Amino acid sequence: MKVSLTERVLEFQRTGTGQRELVEYICADVYRHHRSYHFRDADVCADVLSRFYRRIPGLVERFTYSGTPFEFYLARSLRYFSISLAGDERAEAERQRFFKEREFWSYAADSSFFFTTNPDSRGSAGFNNQVGSRPPAGSDDTRKAVEPASTASPNRFSVAMKRRLLILGLKNCNDLTDRLISKLSLATGRPKDEILEYRDALARMLDRRLERYEFLKERRNSVYYRIRVLETLLHDETGREKRKELGERLERERRLMGEYQVKLSQCRIHPTHTEIAKVLGIPKGSVDSGMYFLRKRFESLSTVPVDRVRRTC
């Protein structure tokens, strides 16, 4: 006479012996009748069971018979686990695509990176697994202003506009390549060597701030990977005490991650208006007003509001 899974589980709960044999029997039964457990083929069933295996002892211990057989309880648990597993695989594939397309931590100072349930979110801590980032203040503005302007004669612009374009270029001195410097020189009528001197002077002022920024990025990244490891351990752990310990460690790491994000957002990786005024030998108010009028000009040229350049005075 064949004994059902429910009877075997209840027998184990009474005696407390033969857990290993019971788990192996459950796995063999699921694999043998994978169609009944809503798996499309045996290979998918085997893949899910290899990851679900460690959860089976907990299912057996928590099962309480109230008229519903253990087979139904097991099938429902496998179904939810399969759905969760498929979601994790899609998120991982998306993360891998994202890593290949662009540097993951680009523009972190202006990013809104938070974890909820899946980081990578990988939402893996479940990072909400969403990474929101915004380009450094004004970098797009520099290209919009300099490249179109470079195709026209320098005499097309007033003296005030030329100075504003120079200020905008220096505001984004970290992004000034030789090509952009040539275009900026053509648009403003300033010698290329003079613009290079301005850029180098501002770069020296930013050295220490950029070093701190890179240091904080490295620490932030280390915390991120610790979060990923803890999330994986927590996902696979079945023991109550161990899960509680991992959860507490995970919360500490998440808080630390948030602290580093705040510090990164406070790092001034672009020169302040005061520093630009000092290099150019003009009043700070001239820099303030120049940036203000440029923002207004860009907004009037675009149907989409231009991200405002962050003021760092």
Cβ-Cβ contacts under 8 Å for 108 (sequence gap 6 or more): 133, 217, 220, 264
Tell me what pLDDT residue 103 has.
46
Handedness of CA 157, 163, 166, 167 (dihedral sign): negative
Provide the pLDDT confidence category of residue 102 given band limits of 50, 70 and 90: very low
Q: Is the pLDDT of residue 235 over 50?
A: yes
183-234 confidence digits (pLDDT tens)? 888 888 889 999 899 988 998 988 888 899 999 988 998 888 888 888 888 8
pLDDT of residue 124 exceeding 50: no
- pLDDT higher for 154 or 52? 52
Pair 174, 269: CB distance under 8 Å: yes
Centre a 10 Å sphere on the Cβ of residue 261 and count the other Cβ atoms it contains.
20
The structure tokens listed for 85 are 């597993």
- Is the CB of residue 283 less than 8 Å from the CB of residue 313? no
Q: Given this model, what pLDDT does residue 100 score?
A: 55
Q: In a 3-state reduction of DSSP, which class is residue 132?
A: strand
**Confidence category of residue 256, pLDDT binned at 50, 70, 90:** very high
Higher pLDDT among residues 136 and 232, named by residue: 232
- For residues 106 and 136, give the distance between their C-alpha atoms in angstroms, rounded to a whole number: 9
Report how far apart the first and last C-alpha atoms of the chain are (Å, whole number). 84
Structure tokens at 299: 């907004």
Per-residue pLDDT reduced to its tens digit, 31-89: 888 888 888 888 888 888 888 888 888 888 888 888 888 888 888 888 888 888 888 88
How high is the pLDDT of residue 176? 84
User: Identity (one letter) of the amino acid at 200?
Assistant: D
Residue 130, strand partner residues: 114
Average pLDDT over residues 110-130: 37
DSSP string, 186-223: HHHT--HHHHHHHHHHHHHHHHHHHHHHHHHHHHHHHH
pLDDT at 252 over 90: yes
Neighbouring-strand partners of residue 120: 122
Residue 293: what pLDDT?
87
pLDDT of 310 above 60: no
Neighbouring CB atoms inside 10 A of 29's CB total 17
pTM as predicted: 0.46
DSSP 4: P
Residue in 283, 280, 284 with CA at minimum distance from that of residue 312: 284
CB-based contacts of 201, cutoff 8 Å, min separation 6: 279
- Provide the token pair at 134: 């915004």
pLDDT at position 309, please? 42
Q: How far apart are CA 313 and CA 273, in angstroms?
A: 5
Instruction: Please tell me the distance from the alpha carbon of residue 210 to that of residue 164, in angstroms, as a whole number.
Output: 25
pLDDT at 155: 55
Selected residue with higher pLDDT from 198 and 312: 198
Distance of CA 74 to the CA centre of its chain: 35
Pick the more confident residue, 140 or 198.
198
Can you give the pLDDT at residue 125?
37
Q: Name the token pair of 11.
A: 């027998």
Half-sphere exposure of 282 (CA within 13 A, CB side): 16
The pLDDT value given to residue 216: 92
